[in-house]
Chains A and B, each alone.
Chain A
Amino acid sequence: MNESIKEQLEWTFKAVVVTIPEDTQTVVSVEKDQVLAVLRFLKGRGFDHLALVSCVDWIEEKEFELVYILTRYMQGDEERKYQERLHLIVKTRISRQNPQLETVIGIFPNAEPYEREMHELFGINFEGHPRLTPLLLERDYKIPPFRKDFDTRKYVEEIFGNIPSVENNK
């Protein structure tokens, strides 16, 4: 199954690099303008569950890496048991200076909160997302807090360290 997905992907798309680190994992590295096409293709092949969208900050390479993990919903019959265990990991890189990517809500509607969260924590702008409003955080941050160049200790000292304690009252 792994091999056939690999063949199909490499046959359909040009710049796709498929590696198989483990029996149950297949890593698909694609260019950023091909993400939608690859995800739509894989959904058509039965990978209909977007389990996670995540982001990695490669600060030295000045790139963000977006990770989409796809699996299948339970099918039930014996023949598909092996396929069910297969995790497809679609990776793409975008520039850190201008982090922008098209939303995948059109294909997987459950990507909506993931993309909101990444917009909030990494500052990635998803084009076509219906509401990129704050999801988890209350305060405004100059640098989104999950980026590597966000200095947590300095931030904590500046914000929470400056609030006077009870002993300082009067």
Chain B
Amino acid sequence: MDRNKIAKWLKEPAKMANKYSLHVIYFCTGCGIIEIPPVITSRWDAERLGIIPVATPRQANLFLITGYVSVKTLRAIIRTYEQMLEPKYAIGFGSCPINGGMYWDSYNTIKHLDKYIPIDGWIAGCMPRPEAIFIAVTHLWTLIDKGMANGYIRYRENYEFYRRNQEMALGKLDWPPLYQIRSDVKAVENE
């Protein structure tokens, strides 16, 4: 272990443990997923940075959205993100989740993913190299250290806003809200 970090470990053990064991969920959207197999296998070996892919959202705390998001995939993304355990981090990979990329005028592609779920970081490029994932992860470590990777907190605080946006894109959602919607609370108080 790095001796300089011992003080940090003693001060904030949960944060440090969180940082070095990021569990990425296997979730393939679009073409970017083709970069993931070399990243997690022996060529780039993501495990040396503590990144392990897992199969279900209940075990994961890092969500890589790799490539364009169609309207149908957005539904699955929201459900997956809501099932993940806190603290959870989401990274948009490639230019398509950022602003639509080459699908900016497509009739069935979501343009700005951060309107629907909170994103902690972006990796620009079409396609980004596997090294970019490691740069993003080391940036994410810095953000976690400073407490700036707070997407899940923003999601909880602005849940009405996100839920409204999701319903504008997808129509009526067929699952109950993850958090209590504040307008409901007010309505109850008025009664």
Contact = CB atoms under 8 A, between A and B. Distances in A.
A152 B169 CA distance: 16
Interface residues of A, number: 19
Contacts of A169: 158, 161
A152 B106 contact: yes
Contacts of B71: 137-139
Interface stretch (A41-49, A104-112, A155-163): A155-163
Contacts of B75: 138
A58 interface: no
A163 B107 contact: no
Given A156-B105, A159-B169, A166-B114, 6 more contacts: A136-B108, A138-B75, A162-B168, A163-B169, A164-B165, A165-B115
Contacts of A164: 115, 161, 165
A73 interface: no
B15 interface: no
12 contacts: A138-B108, A138-B171, A152-B107, A156-B104, A156-B105, A156-B111, A160-B112, A163-B112, A165-B114, A165-B115, A166-B158, A166-B161
Interface in B20-72: 71-72
A123 interface: no
A63 to B, nearest CB: 23
A141 B107 contact: yes
A159 B111 CA distance: 11
A99 interface: no
B165 A155 contact: no
B105 A165 contact: no
Interface of B: 71-72, 75, 104-108, 110-112, 114-115, 118, 158, 161, 165, 168-171
A114 B168 CA distance: 30
A169 B162 CA distance: 10
A166 B115 contact: yes
B108 A145 contact: yes
B115 A150 contact: no
Nearest to B116: A163
Nearest to B119: A166
A131 interface: no
A166 B112 CA distance: 10
Contacts of B106: 152, 156
B151 to A, nearest CB: 11
Contacts of B114: 165-166
A165 B114 CA distance: 8
A165 B107 contact: no
B170 A150 contact: no
Interface string A126-170: 000000000011110100010000101101100110111110010
